[in-house]
Amino acid sequence: MEMYPLKSAPVFKSRIWGGQALREVFGKELPPGQKIGESWEISDLPEGRSTIGNGSLQGQALGSAVRQHTEDITGSKSFPTPFPLLIKFLDAQQVLSVQVHPDAETCRRMGKGDPKTECWYIVQARPGAVIYKGFKSGVTKDQFAKAIREGTAADLLAAVPVSVGQCHFIPAGTAHAIGTGLLVAEVQTPSDTTYRVFDWNRVDESGKPRQLHIEEAMESIHFDITPDKLPVTTVGRLVDSNYFKVDKGHRVEGGEVFFSRGIMRVLIVLTGAGTIFSRQAEPVDFAAGDTLVIPAAFEGAMKFDRDTEYLVVTV
């Protein structure tokens, strides 16, 4: 079959800290009245599998389509499963729990879990918004364990002011949390292994605290990670890791970007709108909030109807 840009139909996740900003900002058709914290744009995990929302493959799970058309979509005859990216939009109306994702060595040592490295691109931010990444200088494991018992863990975390357009790299082993009033595009390796170590002493709608994973988290955290060791980027190549690369693009109304064959790309549209044209497939419109897989076998041009910012992710 002729390959074409595959527009994602995401999976929405209700979260205690979520809201309806994904509807307000991107026009996503969220379940009404629910606190939607996460839109899983690209996912091939049992916890949520995104599907294709357009064309002849519409309704098929992305992972299934990749396994069926591996070389055409990925450019390789053999390709990792599950799909090696998990991409989300996050709506943090409240602060998220303090958590950590293990690295590969920790997973082997504990005999469970899957490693996860990620990055956060700040799409919107209220005045004064912060993220938490790593610790204040000199914090030890024993100090943090004591603070957890006393309910003061937040005092030891490094609060970092953020602004729209920043990309924050969060390697596995980093204690982290997204603060209140942020809309974030999150690119990560395909794992849902998350160990919550502190949840700001809050309770859910039934009056119960959420489950914590203190033992696993303390085993996974790298206590030497401080903000000065984690890059913050705003233009060009935002992330260049062993797992994925993220580049930022910006084109004005009337501009064009050409896609050549050979490389699979994932396109995350942050602002603006336009259309992708080719000789081999029907035009595909895109707008802010859309996420598309551009198959390796596709060749065409992305033309912009408005000033547009976007991220391009490759693996």
- Tens place of pLDDT for every residue, the chain, 315 residues? 799 999 999 999 999 999 999 999 999 999 998 999 999 999 999 999 999 999 999 999 999 999 999 999 999 998 888 999 999 999 999 999 999 999 999 999 999 999 999 999 999 999 999 999 999 999 999 999 999 999 899 899 999 999 999 999 999 999 999 999 999 999 999 998 999 999 988 877 788 888 899 999 999 999 999 999 998 999 999 999 999 999 999 999 999 999 999 999 999 999 999 999 998 889 999 999 999 999 999 999 999 999 999 999 999
CA gap 179, 160 in Å, rounded: 9
- The active-site residue, picked from 67, 196, 251, 279, is 196
Give Dmax over CA atoms of the chain in angstroms.
64
Domains 6-234 and 245-314 share a fold: yes
Global pTM value: 0.95
Q: In what order do the strands lie in the sheet with 308-314?
A: 51-52, 6-9, 291-294, 265-269, 308-314, 245-251, 237-240
Given this structure, which CATH class describes domain 245-314? mainly beta
CA gap 115, 103 in Å, rounded: 5
Peptide bond into 227 cis (omega under 30): no
Give the per-residue pLDDT at 250.
97
The one-letter amino acid code at 307 reads D
User: Is 219 in a helix, a strand, or coil?
Assistant: helix
Q: How deeply is 166 buried, as exposed, middle or buried, from its count of CB atoms within 10 A (0-12, 13-18, 19+)?
A: middle
**Angle, vertex CA 34, rays to CA 32 and CA 39, nearest 5:** 95
Q: Which runs of consecutive H residues, i.e. helices, occur in 98-246?
A: 104-110, 141-150, 214-220
Token pair belonging to 299: 């060749």
Right CATH number for 6-234 from 2.60.40.1180, 2.60.120.10, 3.40.1390.10, 3.40.50.300?
2.60.120.10
Token pair belonging to 214: 């203190």
Token pair belonging to 109: 């040592």
Contact, 22 vs 253, CB < 8 A?
A: no
What are the extents of the domains in the chain? 6-234, 245-314
Give the per-residue pLDDT at 205.
74
Contact, 176 vs 100, CB < 8 A?
A: yes
Give the per-residue pLDDT at 81.
87
- In this structure, the strands spanning 130-135 and 98-100 are unpaired
Active-site residue, 196 included: yes
Q: What is the DSSP letter of 236?
A: S
Query: Between the CA of residue 194 and those of 41, 145, 270, what are the distances in Å?
Result: 19, 18, 26
